[in-house]
Structure 1
Amino acid sequence: METKGDWRVSLAGECMVSRPFSMHDEPEFLEVWDLIKDADVSYGHLEMNFAVPEELKWPARGQGIGSFMMSDPAIAKDLKWAGFDIMSTAHNHSFDFGAEGLVATKKHMKEAEIVTAGTGVDLERASEPGYVEKKNGRVALVSTSSGNQHFMWANHAKGSFMARPGVNPQRLQFEFKVDPQTMQNLKDFAEKLNIVKPPKHGPKDAFGFLIPGAQQWGDPECFVEGDECEIVSSCNKRDLARNLRSIEEASSMADLVIVAHHFSVSDGPRGDTPPRFVREFAHHAIDGGADIYVGHGWHKTLGIEIYKGKPIIYGIGNFFAHSEFIQHVPYDSYDAWGHDVDALPTLHPALHPLHPGLDTPSSTWWSSCILQAAMKDGKLASLRLHPVEMGRESNKEATLHRRTGKGKHALTEGRPMRAKGEDAVRILERYRHLSEPFGTNIEIEDGVGIIRV
């Protein structure tokens, strides 16, 4: 019998899934689910909500360029068919349809017998680990999200008010270091517009201003003088302490602990390097008892670090890319994307653009890897990367080879299939290149990436 420290774990990326899929039987498709099921436990990130209209009231977000993620609850059963045991639900779309949508998603996933973590009816339930019982032992998942708006955070009951359902937040703060000349320019700019406001966080000599229209979001940006310009992000200490308590609980009550961290913000444009606060949180998570850290949110693959014998996957990428097929699109999305909402009855969900990431070619949106981790005595022994694609090649043109529909704007079919040939090599080469700065070596053998520890 294997010891409780020995595990085979399959990890998949962001499931923006809005179409049933269990009826398909192409060999390249079934290979994907063979890989998911070839493990003691299988994890994926659910970047979707499940509900029927009768369970909802109205879209809660009402702002911003982005998809409103909601689809048929029956798809949760397809995810169970696919082999998923446990899935994270904390992300920037968790509150798209308010408390009703969040609670409905949890309910439908439970009915499909998939354990979830990261959202709940209050902050305690959103922060608590999800547990799944497996033959090899007990697995825990702690799920958190960075970058959500204030009203999406779960809270506690207080002052005779009920608690707000929401996500388990891992908030962050930024400091903007600037050289002396830039600092003087900023002060001149803010004083001329009369928008100077000291920040609540940062050193005593920090400078801040608040742009009109952003007053409702609270603390102004924090600028500090330094030798050069750089953005310094860090974890909110109270959220970090709360999440570490959840990880401590999970480590005490389970034999394998996975921490999932969804981050939709960055230190500047979304590049190929994880933000500082993400590396800070990932290291704290492993130090606090996590066995595997999985990051997602940028819809692209990022590097892998082996830290104290445990894998940190900074960006696991997309696994389903079905956002173009969301059938019920609210007013706010048409408005945000510039469609003529005065002609609302003529607008329909096949219009373009309606979803981010799909309006320009992307070499990273349509591909990722299924990661199979072999843990031995509580440490990583090997990590195998099996490349998958969602209907486009991972080149600059994002060449389409699986299409749905016959409209002028080509819709990408969006299911994961095993990537082959040059496309598989490109997917793996990206992971190899981005992992090298962390001292991680990925060997590519017969279309599979291998990390040996």
Structure 2
Amino acid sequence: MSQPLDWSIAIAGECMVTRPFSMYREERFTALRDLLHESDVTYAHLEMNLGDHRELHPARGDWFGSFMLAEAELADQLRWLGVDVVSAANNHSLDFGEQGLAATLASCRGAGLATAGTGQDLDEARRPVYVETPQGRLALVSLSSGNRPHEWAGRPKGTMVGRPGINPLRVDWTYHVPRDTAEQLKAAARGLGILRTHENCGPGKTGRVLAEDEFQYTLPGGQSASGELVFKEADEFQILSECHPGDLEGNLRSIRSAAALADVVMVAHHFNVSEGARGDRPPRFVREFAHRAIEAGADIFVGHGWHKTMGIEIHQGKPIFYGLGNFFAQSEFLDHVPSDAYETWGHDIDRLPTLTPDMWPLHPGLDGPSETWWSSAVIKVHLTEGRLTDVTLHPVEMGREVTKEAKITRSTGKSAKHPLTEGRPVLADQVNGARVVERYQQLSAEYGTVVELEGGVGRVRVDS
């Protein structure tokens, strides 16, 4: 059809959802559901594997985090809430291997949830997924940065089938150090026999060609890996991240294809990596890709992976949301926890019969108060004749106050030893909602984006 006159798109954050919720009827929850249902399309990021734990097996033993798995029926619950399309590419997509990936896709498709970002090979994982609506056609391209090599989807070749996995955007990392530090690092590497320079790199040695002022450590146990620990002489200390050229072009090609075949194009980028500690600003490679995605034809770019809200940028008249934050935060209620998880969190696995899913600590990000883990916003984007006309931020909370202390307001469980937060989203009250919007105001100002608070809702000033 011709380009629609008006679109209303709802955007929700990361769904670490483990419990059914369609039975709740309180006003702040039903109003949230209405907000999603009244949109032409609602998007969310699925940070969970869905399937039968009796048929799936954990895929790795050194993962310092949660193994994300919940029942398949939760796809139906998200559909009931109003979600139409989800991105599925993230650092948990293969927590339960290829079987878990396939089970998640089957669960979503069975519930009528369009899904992008993973597949049986790279072509399937990278292709846009399309959502048909009375307003027209929306496309979603989903990708992930920070996954391990065996999680990247691969293409079929000749007599070989493709490799199931995620659609990757790999990252080239370069550690900039002053000259005197570089010389010390080289000397240490020579002494240990682990130095690689531009003179002895090439096919079969590294996936990256080193410049004359770069050198690399080939650490024991990782000498068959590529592109790690590349140092460069520079004026000051800095970690520089850049998009892998091949993955960048492959994803831009998918975006250009989507722009030719759909009326609205969304791009969802999950990244769990950072240039040092996770702060409030996206890594350089994320901003690089966001700009290139918009220039290739994307109408909306969303980022997630750090489980916190971040700033909003308007680039060439299109919105970039660098961090959506959590929408469901229920990883404390994962019921099927493999032995590897207990071991990495310091529990005595010789006592496995006595270890249960309520043990603490067992999940990342929940070992102390967090002002940003338990709140975010449902973002409503309005497009008129392909032009951005309005962006509103509707704050939500998941059972804690939006403060540094993060006092629990909705708990689950009777034990006070380690209180658990319900983790289900409801519309925030006026006080907590204002705090969510204030964070957006502060972080978006760095990009020249003005966010105003009106009646408990944030509104992004859009130039007409």
TM-score w.r.t. structure 1 length? 0.97
For structure 1, which segment, 37-46 or 193-202, has the greater mean C-alpha deviation from structure 2 after superposition? Answer: 193-202
Matched, 1:48 2:48: yes
Distance of 1:138 and 1:232 partners within structure 2: 38
Q: CA deviation at 1:196?
A: 1.3
Q: CA deviation at 1:159?
A: 5.7
- Measured against aligned partners, the alpha-carbon deviations of 1:227-279 in whole angstroms (never above 9, x if no partner) come to 11111101011111111111111111110100000001011110001000000
Q: How does 1:52-451 map to 2 (within 5 A)?
A: 52-56=52-56, 58-158=57-157, 160-198=159-197, 200-407=208-415, 408-451=417-460
The alignment yields a C-alpha RMSD, in angstroms, of: 1.5
Q: CA deviation at 1:61?
A: 2.7
Secondary structure of the residue aligned to 1:140 is strand
Distance of 1:94 and 1:7 partners within structure 2: 30
Unaligned regions of 5+ residues in structure 2, if any? 198-205
Q: CA deviation at 1:54?
A: 4.3
User: Measured at CA, do residues 27 and 175 of structure 1 come closer, stay the same or move farther in structure 2, by a change above 3 Å?
Assistant: same
Q: Report if the CA contact (8 A) 1:197-1:220 is conserved.
A: no
For structure 1, which segment, 206-215 or 296-305, has the greater mean C-alpha deviation from structure 2 after superposition? Answer: 206-215
Q: CA deviation at 1:4?
A: 1.6
For structure 1, which segment, 186-195 or 285-294, has the greater mean C-alpha deviation from structure 2 after superposition? Answer: 186-195
Residue identity opposite 2:53 in structure 1 = P
Distance of 1:9 and 1:393 partners within structure 2: 27
Residue identity opposite 2:173 in structure 1 = F
Moved over 6 A (4+): none
- Measured against aligned partners, the alpha-carbon deviations of 1:349-395 in whole angstroms (never above 9, x if no partner) come to 11011110001211110000000011122121110001100011121
For structure 1, which segment, 170-179 or 11-20, has the greater mean C-alpha deviation from structure 2 after superposition? Answer: 170-179
Distance of 1:116 and 1:237 partners within structure 2: 25
- Measured against aligned partners, the alpha-carbon deviations of 1:261-316 in whole angstroms (never above 9, x if no partner) come to 00010111100010000001101110111000000000001100000010000000
TM-score w.r.t. structure 2 length? 0.95
Secondary structure of the residue aligned to 1:381 is strand
User: Measured at CA, do residues 338 and 452 of structure 1 come closer, stay the same or move farther in structure 2, by a change above 3 Å?
Assistant: same
Q: Report if the CA contact (8 A) 1:61-1:95 is conserved.
A: no
Q: Report if the CA contact (8 A) 2:42-2:85 is conserved.
A: yes
Identity, in percent, stands at 53
- Measured against aligned partners, the alpha-carbon deviations of 1:141-180 in whole angstroms (never above 9, x if no partner) come to 0000000001111112236332211000011111111111
Residue 35 (structure 1) aligns with = 35
How many pairs align?
452
Distance of 1:25 and 1:105 partners within structure 2: 28
Q: CA deviation at 1:216?
A: 4.6
User: Measured at CA, do residues 60 and 5 of structure 1 come closer, stay the same or move farther in structure 2, by a change above 3 Å?
Assistant: farther
Distance of 2:124 and 2:2 partners within structure 1: 32
- Measured against aligned partners, the alpha-carbon deviations of 1:413-433 in whole angstroms (never above 9, x if no partner) come to 000011113211111111110
Distance of 1:336 and 1:161 partners within structure 2: 35
